[in-house]
Amino acid sequence: MDLNNNDKPVNILVVDDELSVRDSLTKWFREDGYRADAAADATEALKKLKPRVWDIIFLDIKLPGMDGMELQQRIKSVDPHATIIMITAYATVDTAVKSLKEGAYDYVTKPVDPDYLSHLVANVIKQRRLLSENIQLKERIQELYEIDQIIGESPAMLKVFDLIKTVAPTDTSVMIKGESGTGKELIARAIHSNSHRRFFPIITVNCGGLVEGLTESEFFGHEKGAFTGALYRRKGKFEMANGGTIFLDEVGNIDPKSQTDLLRVIETRQFTRVGGDEIIKVDFRLICATNRDLELAVKQGTFREDLYYRLNVFSISIPPLRERRSDIPLLCNYFLKKLAASMNKPVTGFTPEAMERSKVYDWPGNVRELKNAIERAVVVAKGSLITVDDLPIPPTSKAVPEGQSLEAVERAHIKNVLEQMGWNITRSAEILGIDRATLYHKIEKYGLRKQT
Amino acid sequence: MKLYILPLRFPDNNLLEDLSSTLSNIFKLPVLLLPKPFSLEEGYDTVRNQFNSTWILSRLLEQTPDESCKILGVTSVDLYVPVLTFVFGEAQLDGKVAVVSSYRLREELYGLPKNPERLKERLEKEAIHELGHTFGLIHCRKPECVMYSVTYAEEIDFKSKNFCDTCSALLESKKASS
């Protein structure tokens, strides 16, 4: 480990009434490139605490006047972050143990082995660096979530925010309902990042994209050799989410066998990996999302009723964008600012007509569609304002041939887009403003096939 | 500037001569032997059966023949500073005096066969290291540099006799300014 090549010099204070101990220790530390100073008693030590922040304090247990134990507590009240190492003679090991209970990092007995001392100091410094790095990283996570806010001022969205605040600090399972593109994952992340689990991971499983037969391994992991192709032991999503949150997106697409597995792990909070015997206990919070009517699926018998009630303890419904049109300008400006900055283009606003058309459009793909539309507009915009022509929104709703149902129109449109994109699912889903899982679902639903 | 070597209970004259020519080569300074050793009796700790190196440094300071010089005490006795179990040597940081001991550099102390060549190399490295401290050098992070800090005798074998570029530059500027 690199000890000296770091921005901050390490400060070490030696408190001992024996001059020879003070001198030899400070000298030894200075030769190692640390900033070292010494104090002969508690009064001098306390005086020296103020002007400089000490990383490590070596403290003799036996001091004239106030003893080392008492001084330790005084130091902790002034600087709780200082690492204290007690110095003791063999006779006072009992006291040293007591001081460890009071929060000292370690103790050394006089005379100390130089090798032991250098390792001890190196370990303390390493631990302190990790600790401060950990604090910094936590602060950065906090910042990231604070920046990445969910946008909305409409009463409907304010209600959603309220629900998030209510449920986040609890461990209750949450079901997020909303059309495709309304930002269900964002809501799940907001709940996670406002919960006490925020320093543990949130693991997302897209249940729409799971391959039947491999779902169990995806959820619970597998042992080496559990099946053909299981070359290594692999952790499942539930194991990865230990301590944190597991987010099951498109939970309505889970096959019946996996529904049973899921119910069991929710109830018992334990499972075994595929091909293994070891029972693994996990602590997770469950958040699900769906754009399907699960109550209908329960009635039709395609979704287990008991599982549904387990998942749907607290539900949050996100309104589609067309039901909260007052948020459209807010979202338009938010995405414009963000995207223009990331693309480094001097686009600053919308022409009144462009904004008006955004407001009346229905946005079937919701916020995702709106974001994609603005991204495209920023790319093609020529001036500082986005015009009607830059927006990929039809001027008026197209005349639909009579006798065609909404489903038929949707089928034809999806087919058209897929063919134009050469059946590239990712690109097609982007254009349609839906996620890939939903697109797969619709391809299956409408029985669409790639022409060869 | 001159370097002086003062043998203190150090019977091996050949080793002293080798050391003196190596120091002269490394520091590019004249090296002279001081003939008047002092008694170590007062620095002896009967309980520890070791000699206090800090006390030796204070006695060495009384010997300085002229203003701009460094004195290295070379001994075969076991050295300690009060808070540590042992030291290979000790020096006055950015000062005039240093002491180095061959006691813990000998292979036979660790149950291994005698190795005079290895002992010579180790003694040279530790002498250069302690004298480096008297020129204000602190421990170096480069394992090949002579100023690298070691706590085991066999670790000495991994580093070289030489100062790294950074330490070398610091040494030269110190020599020039004194």
Q: What is the mean pLDDT of residues A278-297?
A: 92
Q: Which of B42, B62, B130, B155 is catalytic?
A: B130
Q: How many CB atoms lie within 10 A of CB B8?
A: 20
Edge-to-edge order in the sheet of strand B44-45 = B44-45, B50-52, B79-80
Q: Give the tens place of pLDDT for each residue, B78-104.
A: 999 988 999 999 999 999 999 999 999
Query: What ipTM, to 2 d.p.?
Result: 0.85
Taking contacts as CB-CB distances below 8 angstroms, the residues of chain B near A31 are 93, 133, 138-139, 149
User: Cβ–Cβ of B149/A4 closer than 8 Å?
Assistant: no
Cis amide bond preceding A111, omega within 30: yes
Q: Give the tens place of pLDDT for each residue, A65-87.
A: 888 888 888 888 888 889 999 98
Q: What is the pTM of this model?
A: 0.56
Nearest Cα to A258, choosing from A277, A235, A274? A274
From the list A2, A20, A32, the residue facing B139 with the nearest CB is: A32
Q: Give the tens place of pLDDT for each residue, B118-152.
A: 999 999 999 999 999 999 999 999 999 999 999 89
**Best A6, A16, A31 residue to mutate vs chain B (most B CBs within 10 Å):** A31
CA pair distance A175, A240, nearest whole angstrom: 21
CA pair distance A405, A282, nearest whole angstrom: 48
User: Cβ–Cβ of A28/B84 closer than 8 Å?
Assistant: yes
CA pair distance A189, A193, nearest whole angstrom: 6
Q: In chain A, where are the structural domains located?
A: 11-137, 151-319, 323-390, 406-446
SS3 label, residue A141: helix
More confident position, A402 or A196: A196
CATH number of the domain at A406-446, please? Answer: 1.10.10
User: Cβ–Cβ of B86/A115 closer than 8 Å?
Assistant: no
Smallest CA–CA distance from A110 into chain B, residue: B83
From the list B54, B87, B139, the residue facing A114 with the nearest CB is: B87
The CATH class of the A151-319 domain is alpha beta
User: Cβ–Cβ of B82/A111 closer than 8 Å?
Assistant: yes
From the list A18, A33, A112, the residue facing B84 with the nearest CB is: A112
Q: Give the tens place of pLDDT for each residue, A133-178.
A: 888 787 767 655 654 568 888 888 889 988 998 999 999 999 999 9
SS3 label, residue B7: strand
User: Cβ–Cβ of B152/A115 closer than 8 Å?
Assistant: yes
Domain B2-177 grouped into CATH 3.40.50.150: no
B130 is catalytic: yes
User: Cβ–Cβ of B83/A25 closer than 8 Å?
Assistant: yes
Smallest CA–CA distance from A108 into chain B, residue: B83
Domain A11-137 and domain A406-446 have a common topology: no
Cα separations in angstroms, B103 against A63, A132, B34, B113, B134? 34, 42, 21, 15, 22
Domain A323-390 grouped into CATH 3.40.50.1980: no
Q: What is the mean pLDDT of residues B74-81?
A: 96
Domain A11-137 grouped into CATH 2.20.25.650: no
Q: How far is A127 from chain B (nearest CA, A)?
A: 19
Smallest CA–CA distance from B55 into chain A, residue: A20
Taking contacts as CB-CB distances below 8 angstroms, the residues of chain B near A20 are 54, 81-83
Q: What is the mean pLDDT of residues B61-67?
A: 81
